[in-house]
Structure 1
Amino acid sequence: MCTCLLSFDPDSPVPVLAVGVRDEYTDRAWDMPAAHWPDRPGLVGGRDRQAGGTWLAVNPAAHRLGVVLNGCGVDAPAEGRLSRGDLPLRAAEHGDLGALDLARFDPFHLVCAEPDKIRLWTWTGLDLTDRWLDPGTHLVVNTGLDATCPGPSQIPEAALDGIRARLAHFRPLLASTPRPDPSGDASTAAAWGPWLPLAEGDALSTSDPRALLHRHTTDEGRVFGTTSVSLVALSHEGLRYDFTALPGDPTAWTRVLPA
Protein backbone atom coordinates (compact mmCIF):
# COMPACT_ATOMS: atom_id res chain seq x y z
CA MET A 1 0.00 0.00 0.00
CA CYS A 2 2.93 2.36 -0.65
CA THR A 3 2.24 5.94 -1.72
CA CYS A 4 4.26 8.65 -3.47
CA LEU A 5 3.09 12.27 -3.27
CA LEU A 6 4.55 14.64 -5.85
CA SER A 7 4.46 18.37 -6.47
CA PHE A 8 5.98 19.59 -9.74
CA ASP A 9 6.39 23.32 -10.37
CA PRO A 10 9.04 24.03 -13.03
CA ASP A 11 9.00 27.76 -12.15
CA SER A 12 9.76 27.19 -8.47
CA PRO A 13 13.30 27.43 -7.06
CA VAL A 14 12.74 23.82 -5.93
CA PRO A 15 10.69 22.34 -8.80
CA VAL A 16 10.13 18.81 -7.44
CA LEU A 17 8.93 17.86 -3.97
CA ALA A 18 8.23 14.24 -3.09
CA VAL A 19 6.93 12.24 -0.15
CA GLY A 20 7.75 8.54 -0.36
CA VAL A 21 5.76 6.31 2.02
CA ARG A 22 6.96 2.74 2.33
CA ASP A 23 4.55 0.04 3.56
CA GLU A 24 5.93 -3.40 4.30
CA TYR A 25 5.83 -6.26 6.79
CA THR A 26 7.42 -4.81 9.90
CA ASP A 27 9.56 -7.93 10.46
CA ARG A 28 11.26 -7.60 7.05
CA ALA A 29 14.79 -6.38 7.78
CA TRP A 30 16.21 -3.27 6.14
CA ASP A 31 19.01 -0.75 6.55
CA MET A 32 18.81 3.01 6.97
CA PRO A 33 19.54 5.18 3.90
CA ALA A 34 23.21 5.24 2.89
CA ALA A 35 25.45 4.50 -0.10
CA HIS A 36 24.93 0.74 0.14
CA TRP A 37 25.84 -0.27 -3.43
CA PRO A 38 29.59 -0.24 -4.26
CA ASP A 39 28.84 -1.09 -7.89
CA ARG A 40 26.64 2.02 -8.06
CA PRO A 41 28.75 4.71 -6.41
CA GLY A 42 26.93 7.82 -5.29
CA LEU A 43 23.45 6.33 -5.05
CA VAL A 44 21.80 6.64 -1.64
CA GLY A 45 18.74 4.89 -0.26
CA GLY A 46 17.43 2.46 2.32
CA ARG A 47 18.41 -1.15 1.60
CA ASP A 48 16.08 -4.13 1.82
CA ARG A 49 18.22 -6.89 3.32
CA GLN A 50 16.15 -9.69 1.83
CA ALA A 51 16.55 -8.73 -1.83
CA GLY A 52 19.37 -6.19 -1.64
CA GLY A 53 17.53 -3.42 -3.48
CA THR A 54 15.53 -0.41 -2.35
CA TRP A 55 12.15 1.27 -2.55
CA LEU A 56 13.59 4.77 -3.04
CA ALA A 57 16.98 5.91 -4.30
CA VAL A 58 18.51 9.32 -4.92
CA ASN A 59 21.43 10.35 -7.10
CA PRO A 60 22.85 13.54 -5.55
CA ALA A 61 25.22 14.23 -8.45
CA ALA A 62 22.41 14.11 -11.04
CA HIS A 63 19.72 15.59 -8.73
CA ARG A 64 17.57 12.55 -9.55
CA LEU A 65 15.05 10.41 -7.64
CA GLY A 66 13.73 6.89 -8.28
CA VAL A 67 10.74 5.41 -6.40
CA VAL A 68 9.02 2.06 -6.96
CA LEU A 69 5.56 0.91 -5.88
CA ASN A 70 3.99 -2.49 -6.32
CA GLY A 71 1.44 -2.52 -9.13
CA CYS A 72 -1.49 -4.72 -10.04
CA GLY A 73 -1.65 -7.19 -12.89
CA VAL A 74 -0.05 -10.51 -13.74
CA ASP A 75 2.88 -11.65 -11.61
CA ALA A 76 6.05 -12.95 -13.22
CA PRO A 77 6.77 -16.69 -13.08
CA ALA A 78 8.46 -17.60 -9.79
CA GLU A 79 11.36 -19.17 -11.64
CA GLY A 80 13.57 -16.37 -12.90
CA ARG A 81 11.67 -13.57 -11.16
CA LEU A 82 13.75 -10.46 -10.45
CA SER A 83 13.36 -8.06 -7.53
CA ARG A 84 11.64 -4.76 -8.19
CA GLY A 85 14.10 -3.25 -5.71
CA ASP A 86 16.63 -2.82 -8.52
CA LEU A 87 14.33 -0.48 -10.43
CA PRO A 88 14.72 2.71 -8.30
CA LEU A 89 18.50 2.25 -8.44
CA ARG A 90 18.36 1.95 -12.21
CA ALA A 91 16.12 5.02 -12.52
CA ALA A 92 18.23 7.12 -10.15
CA GLU A 93 21.45 6.08 -11.86
CA HIS A 94 20.47 6.42 -15.51
CA GLY A 95 17.15 8.29 -15.65
CA ASP A 96 15.79 5.44 -17.76
CA LEU A 97 14.80 1.79 -17.56
CA GLY A 98 17.33 0.70 -20.15
CA ALA A 99 17.23 -2.82 -21.57
CA LEU A 100 15.11 -4.95 -19.25
CA ASP A 101 13.33 -8.26 -19.58
CA LEU A 102 10.12 -6.92 -18.06
CA ALA A 103 8.49 -10.35 -18.08
CA ARG A 104 10.75 -11.23 -15.12
CA PHE A 105 9.26 -8.47 -12.93
CA ASP A 106 5.99 -8.42 -11.03
CA PRO A 107 3.76 -5.40 -11.81
CA PHE A 108 5.11 -2.03 -10.69
CA HIS A 109 4.88 1.74 -10.91
CA LEU A 110 8.26 3.48 -11.18
CA VAL A 111 8.73 7.20 -10.70
CA CYS A 112 11.85 8.91 -12.02
CA ALA A 113 12.09 12.61 -11.12
CA GLU A 114 14.54 15.35 -12.04
CA PRO A 115 14.18 19.11 -11.53
CA ASP A 116 12.71 19.65 -15.00
CA LYS A 117 10.73 16.43 -15.54
CA ILE A 118 8.92 13.55 -13.87
CA ARG A 119 8.43 10.23 -15.63
CA LEU A 120 6.15 7.37 -14.58
CA TRP A 121 6.35 3.83 -15.92
CA THR A 122 3.58 1.32 -15.21
CA TRP A 123 4.11 -2.38 -15.88
CA THR A 124 1.07 -4.67 -15.56
CA GLY A 125 2.85 -7.91 -16.38
CA LEU A 126 1.38 -7.61 -19.88
CA ASP A 127 1.87 -3.98 -20.96
CA LEU A 128 4.24 -1.10 -20.21
CA THR A 129 2.94 2.49 -20.06
CA ASP A 130 5.46 5.32 -20.17
CA ARG A 131 4.21 8.84 -19.39
CA TRP A 132 5.52 12.28 -18.42
CA LEU A 133 3.67 14.00 -15.58
CA ASP A 134 2.38 17.53 -16.08
CA PRO A 135 3.15 20.32 -13.62
CA GLY A 136 0.88 20.12 -10.60
CA THR A 137 0.30 17.64 -7.79
CA HIS A 138 0.10 13.89 -8.19
CA LEU A 139 -0.50 10.89 -5.93
CA VAL A 140 0.89 7.56 -7.08
CA VAL A 141 -0.63 4.53 -5.36
CA ASN A 142 -0.60 0.78 -6.04
CA THR A 143 -3.23 1.25 -8.74
CA GLY A 144 -1.33 4.13 -10.36
CA LEU A 145 -2.62 7.70 -10.48
CA ASP A 146 -6.18 6.74 -9.57
CA ALA A 147 -8.05 3.82 -8.01
CA THR A 148 -8.53 1.90 -11.25
CA CYS A 149 -6.13 -0.98 -11.83
CA PRO A 150 -4.51 -0.71 -15.29
CA GLY A 151 -4.32 -4.52 -15.50
CA PRO A 152 -5.89 -7.58 -13.91
CA SER A 153 -6.25 -6.86 -10.20
CA GLN A 154 -5.21 -9.04 -7.30
CA ILE A 155 -6.10 -6.24 -4.87
CA PRO A 156 -9.07 -7.09 -2.62
CA GLU A 157 -12.06 -4.78 -2.86
CA ALA A 158 -11.57 -3.66 0.75
CA ALA A 159 -8.03 -2.54 -0.09
CA LEU A 160 -9.32 -0.71 -3.18
CA ASP A 161 -11.82 1.07 -0.95
CA GLY A 162 -8.91 2.19 1.22
CA ILE A 163 -7.02 3.48 -1.83
CA ARG A 164 -10.10 5.43 -2.95
CA ALA A 165 -10.51 6.92 0.53
CA ARG A 166 -6.83 7.89 0.71
CA LEU A 167 -6.93 9.56 -2.70
CA ALA A 168 -10.14 11.41 -1.86
CA HIS A 169 -8.59 12.77 1.34
CA PHE A 170 -5.00 13.51 0.37
CA ARG A 171 -5.37 14.64 -3.24
CA PRO A 172 -7.13 17.94 -2.40
CA LEU A 173 -5.03 18.30 0.75
CA LEU A 174 -1.81 18.05 -1.26
CA ALA A 175 -3.10 20.52 -3.85
CA SER A 176 -4.09 23.08 -1.19
CA THR A 177 -1.04 22.82 1.08
CA PRO A 178 1.45 25.65 0.40
CA ARG A 179 4.69 24.47 -1.17
CA PRO A 180 7.70 24.84 1.12
CA ASP A 181 11.20 25.83 -0.04
CA PRO A 182 13.33 23.06 1.51
CA SER A 183 16.68 24.47 0.46
CA GLY A 184 19.56 25.46 2.67
CA ASP A 185 20.62 24.06 6.02
CA ALA A 186 17.39 24.34 8.02
CA SER A 187 16.01 21.57 10.22
CA THR A 188 13.48 19.19 8.73
CA ALA A 189 10.62 21.02 10.45
CA ALA A 190 11.80 24.44 9.28
CA ALA A 191 12.64 23.30 5.75
CA TRP A 192 9.44 21.40 5.03
CA GLY A 193 7.02 23.54 7.04
CA PRO A 194 3.39 22.81 6.06
CA TRP A 195 4.38 19.61 4.29
CA LEU A 196 5.61 17.93 7.48
CA PRO A 197 2.11 17.30 8.95
CA LEU A 198 1.15 15.98 5.52
CA ALA A 199 4.07 13.53 5.53
CA GLU A 200 3.11 12.52 9.07
CA GLY A 201 -0.34 11.45 7.94
CA ASP A 202 -2.49 14.51 8.69
CA ALA A 203 -3.14 13.20 12.23
CA LEU A 204 -5.28 10.31 10.96
CA SER A 205 -5.31 7.08 12.94
CA THR A 206 -3.30 4.22 11.41
CA SER A 207 -6.56 2.26 11.29
CA ASP A 208 -8.49 4.99 9.44
CA PRO A 209 -9.43 3.85 5.90
CA ARG A 210 -8.02 7.15 4.59
CA ALA A 211 -4.70 6.74 6.39
CA LEU A 212 -1.44 7.54 4.63
CA LEU A 213 0.44 5.90 7.50
CA HIS A 214 -1.26 2.66 8.42
CA ARG A 215 -0.74 -0.52 10.40
CA HIS A 216 -2.70 -3.76 10.71
CA THR A 217 -2.23 -7.39 11.65
CA THR A 218 -2.86 -9.99 8.95
CA ASP A 219 -4.81 -13.19 9.39
CA GLU A 220 -1.44 -14.96 9.66
CA GLY A 221 -0.48 -12.78 12.63
CA ARG A 222 2.12 -10.62 10.85
CA VAL A 223 2.10 -6.85 11.18
CA PHE A 224 1.96 -4.86 7.93
CA GLY A 225 2.25 -1.12 7.91
CA THR A 226 4.23 2.02 7.20
CA THR A 227 7.87 1.44 8.08
CA SER A 228 9.41 4.69 6.84
CA VAL A 229 8.74 8.02 5.13
CA SER A 230 11.11 9.99 2.91
CA LEU A 231 11.00 13.66 1.93
CA VAL A 232 12.99 14.58 -1.19
CA ALA A 233 13.42 17.99 -2.82
CA LEU A 234 15.05 18.40 -6.23
CA SER A 235 16.39 21.65 -7.64
CA HIS A 236 18.94 22.54 -10.31
CA GLU A 237 21.33 23.49 -7.51
CA GLY A 238 21.04 20.40 -5.36
CA LEU A 239 19.04 17.69 -3.63
CA ARG A 240 17.66 17.40 -0.11
CA TYR A 241 16.64 14.08 1.47
CA ASP A 242 15.01 13.77 4.91
CA PHE A 243 13.97 10.45 6.43
CA THR A 244 12.14 8.91 9.36
CA ALA A 245 11.98 5.29 10.50
CA LEU A 246 9.30 6.21 13.07
CA PRO A 247 6.44 7.52 10.92
CA GLY A 248 4.16 9.90 12.78
CA ASP A 249 6.80 10.96 15.33
CA PRO A 250 7.76 14.58 14.51
CA THR A 251 10.97 14.28 16.57
CA ALA A 252 12.34 11.30 14.63
CA TRP A 253 13.26 12.98 11.34
CA THR A 254 16.89 13.02 10.22
CA ARG A 255 18.51 14.74 7.27
CA VAL A 256 20.27 12.26 5.01
CA LEU A 257 21.42 14.74 2.34
CA PRO A 258 23.09 17.16 2.20
CA ALA A 259 25.19 15.40 4.83
Structure 2
Amino acid sequence: MCTVIVHVPEDPAAAIRLLAVRDEDPGRAWDPLGAWWPDRPGVIGVRDTRAGGAWLAADPAGARLAVVLNRADLIDDSLATGSRGHIVLDAASGGGLPDAPPTHGFNLLTVTPGRARVAMWDGAAVRTVDLAPGVHMIAHDDVDDPKTARIVAWHDAFAAPADDDWVADWLGALERTTALPPTDDRAIIRDNRPHGYPTLSLLVCAASVSSGGAEVVYGELEEPGAWNSLQLR
Protein backbone atom coordinates (compact mmCIF):
# COMPACT_ATOMS: atom_id res chain seq x y z
CA MET A 1 0.00 0.00 0.00
CA CYS A 2 2.70 2.43 -1.07
CA THR A 3 2.05 6.07 -1.91
CA VAL A 4 3.45 8.24 -4.71
CA ILE A 5 3.01 11.98 -5.20
CA VAL A 6 3.96 13.26 -8.65
CA HIS A 7 3.96 16.71 -10.23
CA VAL A 8 3.65 17.10 -13.99
CA PRO A 9 4.48 20.70 -15.00
CA GLU A 10 2.64 22.71 -17.63
CA ASP A 11 5.92 23.14 -19.54
CA PRO A 12 6.79 19.75 -21.07
CA ALA A 13 10.46 20.73 -21.01
CA ALA A 14 10.43 21.17 -17.23
CA ALA A 15 11.25 18.35 -14.83
CA ILE A 16 8.61 15.91 -13.60
CA ARG A 17 9.11 15.37 -9.87
CA LEU A 18 7.90 12.70 -7.48
CA LEU A 19 8.01 11.55 -3.88
CA ALA A 20 7.53 7.83 -3.27
CA VAL A 21 6.89 6.07 0.06
CA ARG A 22 7.49 2.35 0.14
CA ASP A 23 5.37 0.03 2.29
CA GLU A 24 6.61 -3.55 2.63
CA ASP A 25 6.93 -6.35 5.14
CA PRO A 26 9.97 -5.36 7.25
CA GLY A 27 11.03 -9.00 7.26
CA ARG A 28 11.47 -8.99 3.49
CA ALA A 29 15.04 -7.91 2.82
CA TRP A 30 15.87 -5.12 0.39
CA ASP A 31 18.96 -3.35 -0.86
CA PRO A 32 19.12 0.45 -0.89
CA LEU A 33 19.35 2.61 -3.98
CA GLY A 34 22.22 1.33 -6.08
CA ALA A 35 23.40 -0.33 -9.29
CA TRP A 36 22.47 -3.94 -8.47
CA TRP A 37 21.90 -5.37 -11.96
CA PRO A 38 25.03 -6.16 -14.01
CA ASP A 39 22.84 -7.20 -16.94
CA ARG A 40 21.26 -3.72 -16.97
CA PRO A 41 24.21 -1.32 -17.06
CA GLY A 42 23.28 2.19 -16.01
CA VAL A 43 20.14 1.18 -14.09
CA ILE A 44 19.93 1.99 -10.38
CA GLY A 45 17.17 1.15 -7.97
CA VAL A 46 15.88 -0.19 -4.67
CA ARG A 47 16.24 -3.96 -5.04
CA ASP A 48 14.00 -6.63 -3.59
CA THR A 49 16.63 -9.08 -2.37
CA ARG A 50 14.34 -12.13 -2.54
CA ALA A 51 13.04 -11.81 -6.11
CA GLY A 52 15.83 -9.69 -7.56
CA GLY A 53 13.59 -7.02 -9.03
CA ALA A 54 13.06 -3.42 -8.01
CA TRP A 55 10.41 -1.39 -6.24
CA LEU A 56 11.76 1.75 -7.91
CA ALA A 57 14.37 1.88 -10.66
CA ALA A 58 15.84 4.52 -12.94
CA ASP A 59 18.21 4.91 -15.83
CA PRO A 60 19.77 8.29 -14.99
CA ALA A 61 21.48 8.77 -18.37
CA GLY A 62 18.45 7.51 -20.28
CA ALA A 63 16.10 9.80 -18.33
CA ARG A 64 13.66 7.03 -17.37
CA LEU A 65 12.18 6.04 -14.02
CA ALA A 66 9.60 3.49 -12.90
CA VAL A 67 8.00 2.66 -9.56
CA VAL A 68 5.37 0.05 -8.71
CA LEU A 69 2.52 0.02 -6.19
CA ASN A 70 0.49 -3.07 -5.35
CA ARG A 71 -3.12 -3.06 -6.51
CA ALA A 72 -6.06 -5.23 -5.52
CA ASP A 73 -6.89 -8.07 -7.90
CA LEU A 74 -8.66 -11.42 -8.14
CA ILE A 75 -5.68 -13.33 -9.52
CA ASP A 76 -5.07 -16.84 -8.17
CA ASP A 77 -1.61 -17.21 -6.64
CA SER A 78 -0.87 -20.13 -8.95
CA LEU A 79 -1.31 -17.85 -11.98
CA ALA A 80 0.78 -14.96 -10.64
CA THR A 81 4.15 -16.54 -11.40
CA GLY A 82 6.09 -13.38 -12.21
CA SER A 83 7.62 -10.62 -10.10
CA ARG A 84 6.28 -7.07 -10.26
CA GLY A 85 9.83 -5.94 -9.58
CA HIS A 86 11.05 -7.22 -12.93
CA ILE A 87 8.33 -5.21 -14.68
CA VAL A 88 9.83 -2.14 -12.98
CA LEU A 89 13.28 -3.01 -14.32
CA ASP A 90 11.90 -3.53 -17.82
CA ALA A 91 10.13 -0.15 -17.71
CA ALA A 92 13.24 1.66 -16.43
CA SER A 93 15.19 0.04 -19.25
CA GLY A 94 12.72 1.26 -21.87
CA GLY A 95 10.70 -1.94 -22.27
CA GLY A 96 6.93 -2.29 -22.52
CA LEU A 97 4.28 -4.28 -20.70
CA PRO A 98 2.73 -7.54 -21.90
CA ASP A 99 -1.02 -7.53 -22.52
CA ALA A 100 -1.53 -9.83 -19.52
CA PRO A 101 1.36 -9.53 -17.04
CA PRO A 102 1.97 -12.80 -15.14
CA THR A 103 1.87 -11.01 -11.78
CA HIS A 104 -0.54 -9.85 -9.14
CA GLY A 105 -2.14 -6.45 -9.66
CA PHE A 106 -0.16 -3.24 -9.76
CA ASN A 107 -0.04 0.43 -10.58
CA LEU A 108 3.15 1.13 -12.53
CA LEU A 109 4.25 4.75 -12.87
CA THR A 110 6.74 5.32 -15.68
CA VAL A 111 8.32 8.75 -16.10
CA THR A 112 10.24 10.01 -19.11
CA PRO A 113 10.94 13.62 -20.14
CA GLY A 114 7.62 15.43 -20.49
CA ARG A 115 5.52 12.34 -19.77
CA ALA A 116 4.22 10.47 -16.72
CA ARG A 117 2.13 7.39 -17.47
CA VAL A 118 0.38 4.99 -15.08
CA ALA A 119 -0.37 1.44 -16.18
CA MET A 120 -3.01 -0.29 -14.03
CA TRP A 121 -3.26 -4.10 -14.00
CA ASP A 122 -6.11 -5.74 -12.08
CA GLY A 123 -5.96 -9.21 -13.59
CA ALA A 124 -8.54 -8.46 -16.28
CA ALA A 125 -6.85 -5.82 -18.43
CA VAL A 126 -4.06 -3.28 -18.46
CA ARG A 127 -5.36 0.30 -18.51
CA THR A 128 -3.06 3.25 -19.04
CA VAL A 129 -3.42 6.95 -18.38
CA ASP A 130 -1.08 9.82 -19.13
CA LEU A 131 -1.08 12.26 -16.24
CA ALA A 132 -2.22 15.78 -17.04
CA PRO A 133 -0.29 18.79 -15.70
CA GLY A 134 -0.73 19.18 -11.95
CA VAL A 135 -0.09 17.27 -8.74
CA HIS A 136 -1.35 13.68 -8.55
CA MET A 137 -1.43 10.97 -5.88
CA ILE A 138 -1.31 7.24 -6.50
CA ALA A 139 -1.90 4.42 -4.00
CA HIS A 140 -3.61 1.02 -4.41
CA ASP A 141 -6.54 2.13 -6.60
CA ASP A 142 -6.84 4.60 -9.48
CA VAL A 143 -4.88 7.84 -9.77
CA ASP A 144 -6.35 10.58 -7.52
CA ASP A 145 -8.99 8.06 -6.49
CA PRO A 146 -11.65 9.67 -4.26
CA LYS A 147 -12.22 6.29 -2.60
CA THR A 148 -8.69 6.33 -1.15
CA ALA A 149 -8.72 8.01 2.26
CA ARG A 150 -5.13 9.28 2.20
CA ILE A 151 -5.65 10.90 -1.20
CA VAL A 152 -8.78 12.71 -0.02
CA ALA A 153 -7.00 13.83 3.16
CA TRP A 154 -3.67 14.97 1.75
CA HIS A 155 -3.74 15.60 -1.98
CA ASP A 156 -3.87 19.36 -1.57
CA ALA A 157 -1.08 19.35 1.05
CA PHE A 158 1.52 18.79 -1.67
CA ALA A 159 1.80 22.04 -3.60
CA ALA A 160 3.37 22.16 -7.04
CA PRO A 161 7.14 22.55 -6.62
CA ALA A 162 8.12 26.19 -6.94
CA ASP A 163 11.91 26.09 -6.59
CA ASP A 164 14.94 23.90 -5.93
CA ASP A 165 13.84 23.29 -2.33
CA TRP A 166 10.93 21.13 -3.48
CA VAL A 167 12.26 17.96 -1.81
CA ALA A 168 12.46 19.70 1.57
CA ASP A 169 9.02 21.25 1.00
CA TRP A 170 7.42 17.90 0.19
CA LEU A 171 9.20 16.15 3.06
CA GLY A 172 7.79 18.87 5.31
CA ALA A 173 4.31 18.17 3.95
CA LEU A 174 4.88 14.45 4.49
CA GLU A 175 5.95 15.09 8.07
CA ARG A 176 2.77 17.06 8.73
CA THR A 177 0.70 14.07 7.63
CA THR A 178 2.22 12.10 10.52
CA ALA A 179 0.01 13.98 12.95
CA LEU A 180 -2.23 11.00 12.22
CA PRO A 181 -1.29 7.64 13.75
CA PRO A 182 0.19 5.17 11.23
CA THR A 183 -2.80 2.86 11.64
CA ASP A 184 -5.25 5.56 10.48
CA ASP A 185 -6.56 4.80 6.99
CA ARG A 186 -5.70 8.38 6.00
CA ALA A 187 -2.03 8.02 6.94
CA ILE A 188 0.77 8.08 4.38
CA ILE A 189 3.48 6.83 6.75
CA ARG A 190 1.63 3.65 7.55
CA ASP A 191 1.24 0.54 9.65
CA ASN A 192 -1.03 -1.60 7.49
CA ARG A 193 -1.30 -4.56 9.87
CA PRO A 194 -4.71 -3.55 11.25
CA HIS A 195 -5.94 -3.45 7.64
CA GLY A 196 -4.90 -7.07 7.04
CA TYR A 197 -1.46 -6.57 5.45
CA PRO A 198 1.95 -7.25 7.08
CA THR A 199 3.45 -4.06 5.66
CA LEU A 200 4.72 -0.80 7.14
CA SER A 201 6.31 2.28 5.60
CA LEU A 202 10.05 1.67 5.33
CA LEU A 203 11.69 4.27 3.10
CA VAL A 204 11.22 7.33 0.92
CA CYS A 205 12.64 8.28 -2.47
CA ALA A 206 12.42 11.57 -4.35
CA ALA A 207 13.16 11.88 -8.05
CA SER A 208 13.31 14.40 -10.86
CA VAL A 209 13.15 13.44 -14.55
CA SER A 210 13.85 15.77 -17.48
CA SER A 211 15.72 15.71 -20.77
CA GLY A 212 18.86 16.23 -18.70
CA GLY A 213 18.42 12.83 -17.04
CA ALA A 214 16.87 11.19 -13.99
CA GLU A 215 18.00 12.01 -10.46
CA VAL A 216 16.96 9.90 -7.47
CA VAL A 217 17.65 10.31 -3.74
CA TYR A 218 16.86 7.85 -0.94
CA GLY A 219 16.34 7.66 2.81
CA GLU A 220 15.19 4.97 5.26
CA LEU A 221 12.97 5.35 8.30
CA GLU A 222 14.76 4.39 11.50
CA GLU A 223 11.73 2.38 12.64
CA PRO A 224 9.16 0.86 10.24
CA GLY A 225 5.93 2.84 10.24
CA ALA A 226 7.33 5.65 12.43
CA TRP A 227 8.38 9.06 11.15
CA ASN A 228 11.81 10.59 11.65
CA SER A 229 13.38 13.54 9.88
CA LEU A 230 14.98 12.36 6.66
CA GLN A 231 18.00 13.50 4.71
CA LEU A 232 17.60 11.95 1.27
CA ARG A 233 20.83 11.10 -0.53
TM-score under structure 2 length normalisation: 0.87
Gaps in structure 1 of 5+ consecutive residues: 149-162, 183-189
Tell me the amino acid that sits aligned with residue 214 of structure 1: R
CA distance in 1, matches of 2:194, 2:184: 16
- 186, 209, 229: which one pairs with 1:210? 186
Q: 1:146 to 1:14 in 2, by over 3 A?
A: closer
| 1:97 partnered with 2:73 | no
CA distance in 2, matches of 1:59, 1:201: 31
Instruction: Tell me which residue corresponds to 2:24.
Output: 24
CA distance in 2, matches of 1:80, 1:208: 30
> Is the CA contact (8 Å cut-off) linking 2:183 and 2:194 kept in structure 1?
no
CA distance in 1, matches of 2:92, 2:195: 36
- 170, 192, 195: which one pairs with 1:195? 170
> Is the CA contact (8 Å cut-off) linking 1:180 and 1:192 kept in structure 2?
no
Instruction: Tell me which residue corresponds to 1:172.
Output: 156
CA distance in 1, matches of 2:148, 2:78: 30
Q: 1:144 to 1:210 in 2, by over 3 A?
A: same
Shift of 1:172: 1.5
- 242, 245, 253: which one pairs with 2:217? 242
Shift of 1:207: 2.8
Between structure 1 and structure 2, the one with the greater Rg is 1
Match of 1:55, SS state, is strand
Gaps in structure 2 of 5+ consecutive residues: none
| Number of equivalenced pairs | 228
> Is the CA contact (8 Å cut-off) linking 1:242 and 1:253 kept in structure 2?
no
Instruction: Tell me which residue corresponds to 2:131.
Output: 133
Instruction: Tell me which residue corresponds to 2:110.
Output: 112
Structure possessing the higher relative contact order (Cα contacts under 8 Å, 6 or more residues apart): 2
CA distance in 1, matches of 2:26, 2:184: 19
Shift of 1:199: 3.7
Instruction: Tell me which residue corresponds to 2:40.
Output: 40
More off after superposition, 73-82 vs 19-28: 73-82
TM-score under structure 1 length normalisation: 0.79
CA distance in 1, matches of 2:82, 2:227: 32
Instruction: Tell me which residue corresponds to 1:187.
Output: none
Alignment of 1:138-157 (within 5 A): 138-147=136-145
- Structure 1 segments, 4+ long, off by >4 Å, are 216-220
Tell me the amino acid that sits aligned with residue 43 of structure 2: L
> Is the CA contact (8 Å cut-off) linking 2:99 and 2:126 kept in structure 1?
no
How much is the aligned-residue C-alpha RMSD, in angstroms? 2.5
Q: 1:29 to 1:57 in 2, by over 3 A?
A: same
Shift of 1:254: 3.4
> Is the CA contact (8 Å cut-off) linking 2:7 and 2:160 kept in structure 1?
no
Structure 1 vs Structure 2: percent identity of aligned residues? 30
Match of 1:32, SS state, is strand
Match of 1:248, SS state, is coil
Match of 2:93, SS state, is helix
Instruction: Tell me which residue corresponds to 1:123.
Output: 121
